[in-house]
Amino acid sequence: MTKIEFFSGVSGVAETFPIRASREVIPKWVYSAKADYVKNKNKHDIHIYKCPGIFDMYMTGYIVSSWHDIEIETDGERFRITIPDAKLETLLGKQAVQEQTHLGVAKFLPQRPWSAKSILKINTPWHVMAPRGVKFLMTAIPYTDYFDFESCTGILDPALSTEINVQGYWNNLKPGKHMIRAGTPLAQLIPLTERTLEFVVRDATEHDRRWLDKRGYLNYIGFVFNRAKLRDAYERFIRWK
């Protein structure tokens, strides 16, 4: 396998809210900074637009967006989550959005004073296949102008799980209902490799669905998660891509 392939298990998502290259999802402030730099470049020795540490981030990796609207209401402790229609979960085959409570999964994470105590988990229909050994850093959208939802940071290893699900902090504790609109950028995926790889975004094929069936079985064969068997099955699968 010589490329990164993103496929959606729900038909239509690849057309409406695809995973995109980061360079295609640039926040508005960047264009304002560029215009100011061009206009005043003879007046400034130092300008934010000349900072490679910031702007190279927008040339790296891929952006995962929300594939449907999500209504969020929280008192800072627990969430009330509403999605447009239960049919979305039927298509996905599981809950679309979950609460990882501060008394359960998120119990030992440091409590941020400006965020809800529990973590939101936004499940997507996306899976990723990548060349052997390629993992991804999942992180928050860099220098975003949207602050309500902020992705947690972690490593996605397709050999262990091809699922792309975004866990994150909810930062808007104002009373009332708030919305994550479909298409809102949620997280950035950065391949941990020096190789330049083509990427493909598409609906799942029958070949992909055979992998999902096999992966589903391997996830539940024992009382302890068998990483070695899952990794071996994944590497044999991508050799046939």
**Residue 49 lies inside a defined structural domain of this protein:** no
**Residue 97 lies inside a defined structural domain of this protein:** yes
Report the first-to-last Cα separation within the chain, whole angstroms. Answer: 6
**Residue 180 lies inside a defined structural domain of this protein:** yes
**Residue 51 lies inside a defined structural domain of this protein:** no
Biggest alpha carbon distance in the chain? 66
What's the 3-state SS for 68-101?
A: CCEEEEECCCCEEEECCCCHHHHHHCCCCEEEEC
**Residue 206 lies inside a defined structural domain of this protein:** yes
> How high is the pLDDT of residue 237?
84
The count of domains in the chain is 1
**Residue 199 lies inside a defined structural domain of this protein:** yes
Phi and psi angles of residue 211, each rounded to the nearest 5 degrees, phi first: -65, -45
**Residue 40 lies inside a defined structural domain of this protein:** no
Domain CATH number, residue 196? 2.70.40.10
With a cut of 80, say whether residue 231 has pLDDT above it: yes
Range of the domain at 201: 3-29+61-239
**Residue 47 lies inside a defined structural domain of this protein:** no
> How high is the pLDDT of residue 185?
97
pLDDT digits (tens, 9 = 90+) for 60-113: 999 999 999 999 999 888 899 999 999 999 999 999 999 999 989 899 999 899
